[in-house]
Amino acid sequence: EKGGYDYFMLKEIAEQPQAIADTLLGRLKENGEIVLDEVRLSDQDLRDVDKIFIVACGTAYHSGMVAKYAIEHWTRIPCEVELASEFRYRDPVLDRSTLVVAISQSGETMDTLMALRHAKEQKARVLAICNTNGSTIPRESDAVLYTHGGPEVAVASTKAFLTQLVACYLIGLHLAQVRGIKYADEVAAVVAQLQEMPDKLRELLAGIEPVRDLARDLKAAPTVLFIGRHVGFPVALEGALKLKELAYMHAEGFAAGELKHGPIALIDQGTPVVCIVPSPAGRGMLHDKIVSNIQEIRARGARTIVIAEQGDEAVTPYADHLIYVPRTPTLLAPLVTTVPLQVLACEIAAARGHDVDQPRNLAKSVTVE
Ligand code: F6R
């Protein structure tokens, strides 16, 4: 059943290239146009959208955080992302020209479902991104984009996260195309890059072995910190969440720019810090900023685990451990930078003797508050 893997989680990590290929299947036309046929909203409806709210929980919320960077950049539509459990109990400003995007692997998460109902009561249109056909969240939404990631058995979400990211990119690109866009060339380039992602992920997974050795080294650390900027920030949060839920270790993710506003005080001799470094080719400034953050924490004793793009030599002097990922445009980078963090959490948990697929106190589908 586990296809030769020790855990469902490792099997599902390995399935990610195919899972994202399946999310893309039939949705990209040869001319670069994006077709989203299950989205039962007319082009006019999509042109009328003047605000987007993304609501989700846990890992799905992290995919929504990444989506905000992409959607605002490509479409110029203001986009907020909020935890469903917060959104549903406050008084968000919504109306019929608001598009609410509810992201849920299971389609049954109570808080996300209630957030969706709360949005519908205020006449907003709701689009679900979901992995489970016919589940409650897509049934109650105006439109749905299924991720087609296949069943996810391990409690910790892996391939669902990557396919949620792809679905969010598709929605952002589709909105940009329908509304007529400023960045037409960039959008066409992104479409081409998305099509290359399954191969890039295969390449990344083929070289993942060193992460396993690193996991054995880190298994006794009292805490592991994660830092990132821009789309690397939600990746840092996701890396920390995976480690908490699987290895039962203290872990925290930070926006690297926040370090000196408090968290840098946590850095002690030997504190492991996983640093998500953006491509030097994309937004050069972002890359340089994080390199200087890495220097700062290292000067204070941190043991740095650097996730950087293949060929990025600027980081080598400051990396105690360096993990290269394939070259990817900045906005799509979470599709590759997340993968070593999934493997790291899985292997640390296994090295500590935990049940990787069924972590204590957690359920796959959270249908209660
Ligand atoms: C973490 C994890 C959870 C879920 C969250 C939302 O690995 O799996 O944080 O992402 O419970 O679940 P869905 O996506 O089913 O709404």
How many Å lie between the centroid of ligand 1 and the Cα of residue 168? Answer: 16
Which atom of ligand 1 is nearest the CA belonging to 59?
10
How many Å lie between the centroid of ligand 1 and the Cα of residue 314? Answer: 36
β partners of residue 56: 83
Q: Is the CB of 112 under 6 A from ligand 1?
A: yes
Tally of CB atoms within 10 A around 180: 8
- The per-residue pLDDT of the chain, averaged, comes to 94
Q: Is 51 a catalytic residue?
A: no
Which of the residues 51, 244, 289, 364 is marked catalytic?
364
Q: Which helix or strand (DSSP H or E) is residue 145 part of? A: strand 143-146
Tell how far CA 346 is from the center of its chain.
Answer: 17
Residues 215-233 have a mean pLDDT of 96
Q: What b/e string do you get for 161-170 counting C-beta neighbours within 10 Å, with b at 16 or more? A: bbbbbbbbbb
Q: Is the CB of 16 under 6 A from ligand 1?
A: no
pLDDT of the residue at 181:
66
Q: Is the CB of 304 under 6 A from ligand 1?
A: no
Q: Which helix or strand (DSSP H or E) is residue 322 part of? A: strand 321-325
Summarised one tens digit per residue, pLDDT across range 34-67 is 888 788 889 999 999 999 999 999 999 999 999 9
pLDDT of the residue at 183:
64
**From atom 5 of ligand 1, which residue's Cα is the shortest distance away?**
58
- Three-state secondary structure call for residue 148: coil
Please state, in angstroms and rounded to a whole number, the distance separating the CA atoms of residues 104 and 55.
9
Summarised one tens digit per residue, pLDDT across range 294-350 is 999 999 999 999 999 999 999 999 999 999 999 999 999 999 999 999 999 999 999
Q: What b/e string do you get for 77-89 counting C-beta neighbours within 10 Å, with b at 16 or more? A: bebbbbbbbebbe
As given in the structure block, the two tokens for residue 364 are: 């796959």
Please state, in angstroms and rounded to a whole number, the distance separating the CA atoms of residues 295 and 244.
26
With CA atoms as reference, report the closest residue to 328 among 164, 190, 169, 188: 190
pLDDT of the residue at 283:
66
Report yes or no for ipTM above 0.85: yes
For the question of whether the overall pTM of this predicted structure is more than 0.90, the answer is: yes
Residues 273-279 have a mean pLDDT of 97
How many Å lie between the centroid of ligand 1 and the Cα of residue 161? Answer: 9
Question: Is it the case that residue 185 has pLDDT exceeding 80?
Answer: no
How many Å lie between the centroid of ligand 1 and the Cα of residue 164? Answer: 11
pLDDT of the residue at 67:
98
Residues 240-260 have a mean pLDDT of 97
